[in-house]
Amino acid sequence: MARSGGFPTLTAVIPARMEPLVRETEPLATRFKDAGHRLYLVGGVLRDAFLDRLRPDQDLDLTTDAEPDQIEAVAAGWADATWTTGKEFGTIGLRRGDRIYEVTTHRAEAYAPESRKPAVKFSASVEADLSRRDFTVNAMALRLGGELELIDPYGGLADLAGLRLRTPLSPEESFTDDPLRMMRAARFIAGYNLVPDEALVGAVAGLAERLDIVSAERIRSELDKLMVVDVPGPGLWFLVRTGLAGRFLPELPALALEQDPIHRHKDVLAHTVAVVDKTSPDRLLRLAALFHDVGKPRTRAFSGGGVSFHHHEVVGARMTRERMKALRYSVEDTDLVSTLVELHLRFHTYRLGWTDRAVRRYVRDAGPLLDLLNELTRCDCTTRNENKARQLARRMDELEDRITELRQQEELDSIRPDLDGRRVMSELGLVPGPQVGRALDFLLELRLDEGPLGEEEAARRLRAWWAEGTADSSR
pLDDT tens-place string over residues 424-439: 788 788 878 888 888 8
Please say whether the beta carbons of 40 and 148 come within 8 A: no
Residue 249 has pLDDT above 50, yes or no: yes
For the ranges 333-337, 388-392, 399-403, the one whose mean pLDDT is highest:
333-337
Please say whether the beta carbons of 104 and 117 come within 8 A: no
DSSP 259: P
Residue ranges of domains in the chain: 3-162, 166-248, 256-264+278-413, 417-474
In this prediction, residue 11 carries a pLDDT of 43
CATH fourth-level superfamily of 3-162: Beta Polymerase, domain 2 (3.30.460.10)
Confidence of residue 111 (pLDDT cuts 50, 70, 90): low
In this prediction, residue 304 carries a pLDDT of 66
CA gap 466, 429 in Å, rounded: 11
- Mean pLDDT of the chain, nearest integer: 85
For 136-165, the DSSP string reads: GGG--EEE-SSS-EEE-TT-HHHHHHHTEE
Least-confidence region, from 158-172, 214-228, 348-362: 348-362
In this prediction, residue 470 carries a pLDDT of 61
Question: Cβ neighbours of residue 468 under 8 Å, at least 6 residues apart?
Answer: none
Confidence of residue 115 (pLDDT cuts 50, 70, 90): low
In this prediction, residue 251 carries a pLDDT of 95
CA gap 111, 89 in Å, rounded: 13
CB atoms within 10 A of CB 147: 11
What is each CA distance from 89 to 35, 59, 120, 121, 412, in whole angstroms? 22, 18, 6, 9, 53
Confidence of residue 408 (pLDDT cuts 50, 70, 90): low
Least-confidence region, from 135-144, 364-373, 411-420, 457-466: 411-420
Confidence of residue 118 (pLDDT cuts 50, 70, 90): low
Residue 8 has pLDDT above 50, yes or no: no
- Dihedral sign for Cα 84, 87, 88, 91, please: positive
pLDDT higher at 411 or 205: 205
Please say whether the beta carbons of 151 and 8 come within 8 A: no
Residue 2 has pLDDT above 50, yes or no: no
Q: Specify the fold of 166-248.
A: Hydrophobic Seed Protein (1.10.110)
Q: What is the percentage of the chain residues whose pLDDT exceeds 90?
A: 53
What are φ and ψ of residue 81, in 5° steps? -150, 150
Please say whether the beta carbons of 285 and 344 come within 8 A: no
Residue 475 has pLDDT above 50, yes or no: no
54-64: buried (b, 16+ CB within 10 Å) or exposed (e) per residue? beeeeebbbbb
In this prediction, residue 71 carries a pLDDT of 94
Confidence of residue 3 (pLDDT cuts 50, 70, 90): very low
Cα Rg of the chain (Å, integer): 29
CA gap 76, 73 in Å, rounded: 5
In this prediction, residue 450 carries a pLDDT of 73
CA gap 202, 172 in Å, rounded: 9
- Between helix 180-192 and helix 233-241 the angle, nearest 10°, is 140
For the ranges 10-24, 217-231, 335-349, 421-435, the one whose mean pLDDT is highest:
217-231
Residue 414 has pLDDT above 70, yes or no: no
pLDDT tens digits, residue range 38-54?
999 998 889 998 888 88
Residue 245 has pLDDT above 80, yes or no: yes
